[in-house]
Amino acid sequence: MIKNLRTHAFRLALAASVLGLAACSSAPEQEDIERVPNKSAQALYEDAKQTLDSGLYARAIELLGAINARYPFGPYARQVQMDLVYAYYQTGNTDQALATIDRFIRLNPNHKDLDYMYYMRGLVSIKADENAFQEYFGVDRADRDANRTRVAFQDLTTLVKNYPNSPYAPEAKKRIVWLLNKMARYELKVAEYYFEREAYLAAANRGKYVVEHYSQSSYLKQAFDIMEKSYRKLGLQDLAENVKKAKSANPRNK
């Protein structure tokens, strides 16, 4: 019992430290900006870029924030916003990153680097969906809500569709495949939950959703399987046989 309590206390302490690290990477406060030396926009940006390239993201956020505050309409204004997104992403400050991206897209709908912002919004949404505790505690979170995953999928799909020649498109396509499988897996987890509780119609409908919307995923066979066995539990043998035939005819199941 004492050992379990100690383990629990350790995990809570670790959780607090993880959250504390994230908090340290928040948007720069006024006092942070005031600590930045008074320099020209160019000199400050050169410092910020060097700091960013060195991986000192928290300091880069301070420098970029100072440029943003002192020279909001200067020649580096848009580049500063893009660099801030990257720095926020690297420090795990997803809320600030998403807010900066959304503001940039809203104010610069025709910017030449809009593909980068959609790409980063997809990556930031993926990171926002990650559970910091999973890495430390080995918790499988496939059953968690998939809303942010869907948002990331939509952003990366928008990138590939609207900017097919973007240098970020190839990597976006790989991420889309991964996200597709993740969403399909989530739906099947829910289907299994319903099946175990004898809610067979709900389980069949979840499986059907995967077949209809995530047919390119790696979970198509499992979706057919849960549909078939759910229909059999409901006594709907004709529907079960139709699903079985569809599963056999689908080339992805061979």
The model's pLDDT over 142-174, given as tens digits with 9 standing for 90+, comes to 545 578 899 999 999 999 999 999 999 999 999
Q: Is pLDDT above 70 for 102?
A: yes
Q: pLDDT-based confidence at 22, cuts 50/70/90?
A: very low
pLDDT at 227: 97
Q: How far apart are CA 69 and CA 72, in angstroms?
A: 6
pLDDT at 147: 81
Higher-confidence residue of 95 and 4: namely: 95
Q: pLDDT-based confidence at 106, cuts 50/70/90?
A: very high
pLDDT at 123: 96
Q: Which of 52-56, 97-101, 132-136 has the lowest mean pLDDT?
A: 132-136
Q: pLDDT-based confidence at 19, cuts 50/70/90?
A: very low
The DSSP code sequence of 19-38 is HHHHHTTSPPPHHHHHTS--
Q: pLDDT-based confidence at 73, cuts 50/70/90?
A: confident
**Whether pTM exceeds 0.85:** no
Q: pLDDT-based confidence at 186, cuts 50/70/90?
A: very high
pLDDT (tens digit per residue) in 215-230: 999 999 999 999 999 9
Higher-confidence residue of 29 and 169: namely: 169
Q: Is pLDDT above 70 for 141?
A: no
Q: pLDDT-based confidence at 24, cuts 50/70/90?
A: very low
Distant-in-sequence contacts of 154-162, Cβ < 8 A, 24+ apart = 155/118, 155/119, 155/121, 155/122, 155/125, 156/118, 156/119, 156/122, 158/118, 159/115, 159/118, 159/119, 159/122, 162/115, 162/118
Higher-confidence residue of 136 and 72: namely: 72
